[in-house]
Amino acid sequence: MFFYLFWAFLFVAAALCSWLISTVDFRRRIIPDAYLLPLFLIGLLVVTFFPHWICSIQNAVMGATLGYILSAAIGFIFDWIGHKKNPNSQIPIGMGDIKLLATGGLWLGTNGLAIALVVSCILGGIWGARKKQHFIPFAPFFITGAILALIILAFLV
């Protein structure tokens, strides 16, 4: 009984952290570490100790590493291209986005991270095109993609 209550509490805390990350990024274009670190630690606990999670701990570590390296490389490339065109341009991908992708990779593994990235880029691109925005808050779209990836991996695969 205590086991299930503990996991339910962890998942509710992770949902609350995800909600707070999404709303803060949407409003202020920043992802606070105060919400991101607990989400990462809860993901680490879930992947390590939850018996029937969607990915193994090895796949989760590979997903976190891949998410961090991939997003950091994209951020550096966009920053380099942006500074070549305009030396006073803002950095398009912040460290919060990079840490969010690492956290998503930890929760979802490599396959889930790929699904979440594709879904989030499509949703964010559609939203940005409809609203004619230059800056797109990535966290709400990535968390939506991560939830869809969890559903796909848990029920369809």
pTM higher than 0.95, yes or no?
Answer: no
Structural domain span for residue 62: 2-156
**Which pLDDT score is estimated for 157?**
63
CA atoms within 13 A on the CB side of 135: 14
Task: Give the pLDDT confidence score for residue 68 in this predicted structure.
Answer: 96
- pLDDT score at 87: 74
Model pLDDT for residues 97-120, shown as the tens digit of each residue: 999 999 999 999 999 999 999 999
Tens digit of pLDDT for each residue in 1-55?
A: 787 899 899 999 999 999 999 999 999 989 999 999 999 999 999 999 987 899 9
Give the model's pLDDT for residue 134.
77
Over residues 59-88, the pLDDT tens digits come to 999 999 999 999 999 888 888 887 777 777
Give the total number of structural domains in the chain. Answer: 1
Burial label, 104 (beta-carbon count in 10 A; 0-12, 13-18, 19+): buried
The pLDDT score that the predictor gives to residue 156 is 81
Looking at residue 65, its pLDDT comes to 97
Q: Flag whether pLDDT at 127 surpasses 90.
A: yes
d(CA 96, CA 102): 10
For residues 133 and 154, the model is more confident at: 154
100's CB contacts (< 8 A; 6+ apart) are 21, 31, 36, 138, 139, 142
DSSP the chain: -HHHHHHHHHHHHHHHHHHHHHHHHHHHS---HHHHHHHHHHHHHHHHH-TT-SS-HHHHHHHHHHHHHHHHHHHHHHHHHHHHH-TTPPPSS-HHHHHHHHHHHHHHHHHHHHHHHHHHHHHHHHHHHHHT-SS--HHHHHHHHHHHHHHIIIII-
